[in-house]
Structure 1
Amino acid sequence: MELKQLEAFVQVVELQSFSKAAEKLYLTQPTISAHIVSLEKEFNTKFLDRTTKNVRTTVAGERLYEYAKEMLAIKEELYQGFGREWKEEQRIDIAGSTIPSQYILPELIHAYQKQNAKVRFSINQGDSDHVIGEILKHKAAIGFVGIKSKDDRLRYIPFYEDKLVVVTPNETHYKELLEGNCSFEELMREPIILRENGSGTKKTAERFLESKNVDIKKLNVVAFINDQEIIKKSVSRGMGITIMSKKAALDYVEDGKMLLYEPEGDKVTRNLYIVYAKRKKFDRLEKKFIEFCCQFYVQ
């Protein structure tokens, strides 16, 4: 067994493609295939299920992947320990749900790259369910989400407290409502835009509405929209109100495009989480970035 064989195997698993792995490692596809065949012959075990459309790891392949990542991380640490840079690109593959991707990760990554200018990021955006899927398929090393699943293969670290608010169009009708100290229940009778299923914001908003004894089925829902920016544009143009992250809303509120309403009483908050596979073996770069994220918002 050679490290170049393990490198080929890891790239095939993460990219789910022999051709993409070959391109990434500057090798031919037959060479990548030969490396995988050699590993399977040496261990007399099938590590990959190959079809014409995709590549999937077997149970044994999952075990080999974790060992391989750990061995490659040790290789990197050896290079670092002797003052040499490993030639592999310094890149971190991450996946983020809407709020982290659009409003948290840009400032996190910008601040991180001020200290680590050579590190590059690949960001895959989707809803929280999509992010979890990317982590479990090894397409991303680190995920950022607004909800926790019950999958026991995952580990979560809270790193940011996100506050939810109600935003309305900046129109006379809504100004009069808010200036007249309308109740939360009154405001919820207005046309409302909700997020699609799979959104952490939607699930948190639903729990909050239930705690306020608001019947979700009786809301005047005018649209289900998944894209946060489209929701903001729709609210600013008078389609209706919505419940969203305060951090996501601030730019439109500060520009006078929307009005902000914060319910009295308990704050409506939820944690944003770093998520990763429990069996994941992080390399030096990934560990350093996770530590940075956990400290960045600590006051």
Structure 2
Amino acid sequence: MDVRRLHAFAKVYELRSFSRAGEELLLSQPTISAHISALEDELDTQLFDRLGRTVLPTQAGDVLYRYCTTIFTQLDHAKADIMALSQRVAGELVIGGSTIPAHYIIPRLIARYAAAYPEVRLDLTGGDTSEIAQKVAEGTVHVGIIGAPAPYPELVSLPFLDDSLVLVAPTNLPPVSLDGPGWQDRLSQLPWIMREQGSGTRQTLDAALARAGIEMRMIAPVLVVHTSLAVLECVEAGLGVAAVSTLAARSYLERGGVVGLDVPGLDMRRSFYVVHHGKRYLFPALRYFLKTCGCV
């Protein structure tokens, strides 16, 4: 089976269009049609239904596409291993990062890695901790750095970097004591800005509050925000208090945009984790990225 024909088939399948597939592969539409026709003749089955301008895969087309993705991955791995024999590391590496790692940790890692292995094509994708863990489990991301261990048994979570959350407040917040008897009630009554469920920051905060005997139902957030930078901007604007990574808060604290609140009874230490799929092939580009992270 000709790999060029399989590439043409897969592109038509993904784009649902012969002409758009030709544009992406820099081939004419008649060439794409010829590749598909040759495959259909070889397999003695129809792979697509042509309904005017609409192209829909048949059941046989769905089956072939599933195998194509495996074939293309295996070919990439073979090429990478052969290059590794000559001390070359190449191919594509998709890196995922939850909010804090994607902004404050991964860029410097990528700079070191890219300098050492310039033939690797790098793709950085973001999301919260749960989203990145899911993408690694699904195989759409090769390696992730997230704010909590991955909740999938097939994923390997390697401790990478220690961090802690700090409670920040607007500069005009009236003085409040968060120590001594009743501090939990006073903390609960503050106007809170929260990260979304699924973020590593939120998981760390929820666990810290639970250890301190504070139930989440006692806190009514004034706002739920999906990035740490947006949280800090909301705090600086005077909307409320928030728990954020010290990595994210540092510049805001240094320039006086927000103030830190001391909460001795709240332990918000955590770690970041490098996660990868434990049952999938550690191809060279991934293996050397783990080495750059100090994980192998």
TM-score range, shorter chain: 0.7 to 0.9
CA deviations on 1:4-59 (whole Å, 9 max, x unpaired) are 5777789899xx557788666555678778879988998999x9xxx968999979
Match of 1:73 in 2: 77
The runs of 5 or more residues in structure 1 that have no matched partner are none
After the TM superposition, which residues 41-190 of structure 1 pair with which residues of structure 2 at under 5 Å, given as runs? 65=69, 68-82=72-86, 90-171=91-172, 173-174=174-175, 177=177, 183=183, 185-190=185-190
In structure 2, relative to structure 1, the CA distance for the partners of 1:102 and 1:40 (3 Å cut) is farther
CA deviations on 1:250-281 (whole Å, 9 max, x unpaired) are 11111111112353267422232223334432
Match for 2:73: what amino acid? K
In structure 2, distance between residues paired with 1:55 and 1:138: 25
| 8 Å Cα contact 1:17/1:54 also seen in 2 | no
| 8 Å Cα contact 1:7/1:72 also seen in 2 | no
Q: Identity of paired residues, percent?
A: 28
In structure 2, relative to structure 1, the CA distance for the partners of 1:202 and 1:82 (3 Å cut) is closer
| Pairwise CA distance, 1:143 | 2.2
After the TM superposition, which residues 210-289 of structure 1 pair with which residues of structure 2 at under 5 Å, given as runs? 210-264=210-264, 267-289=267-289
Match for 1:101: what amino acid? A
SS at match of 2:243: strand
Match for 1:123: what amino acid? L
In structure 2, relative to structure 1, the CA distance for the partners of 1:266 and 1:224 (3 Å cut) is closer
SS at match of 1:294: coil
SS at match of 1:221: coil
After the TM superposition, which residues 21-60 of structure 1 pair with which residues of structure 2 at under 5 Å, given as runs? 26=26
Match for 1:210: what amino acid? A
| 8 Å Cα contact 2:15/2:21 also seen in 1 | yes
In structure 2, distance between residues paired with 1:39 and 1:100: 45
Match of 2:50 in 1: none
In structure 2, distance between residues paired with 1:140 and 1:204: 24
CA deviations on 1:152-198 (whole Å, 9 max, x unpaired) are 34332222222112111123624x65799x94653342111111222
| 8 Å Cα contact 2:89/2:285 also seen in 1 | no
- Tell me the matched-pair count: 290
In structure 1, distance between residues paired with 2:10 and 2:163: 35
In structure 2, distance between residues paired with 1:94 and 1:30: 37
CA deviations on 1:59-90 (whole Å, 9 max, x unpaired) are 9976775565344322233234347787xxx5
| Pairwise CA distance, 1:248 | 1.4
Match for 2:242: what amino acid? T
SS at match of 1:282: coil
SS at match of 1:160: strand
Match for 1:98: what amino acid? T
In structure 2, distance between residues paired with 1:118 and 1:166: 42
Larger radius of gyration: 2
The runs of 5 or more residues in structure 2 that have no matched partner are 48-53
Cα-Cα RMSD: 4.4
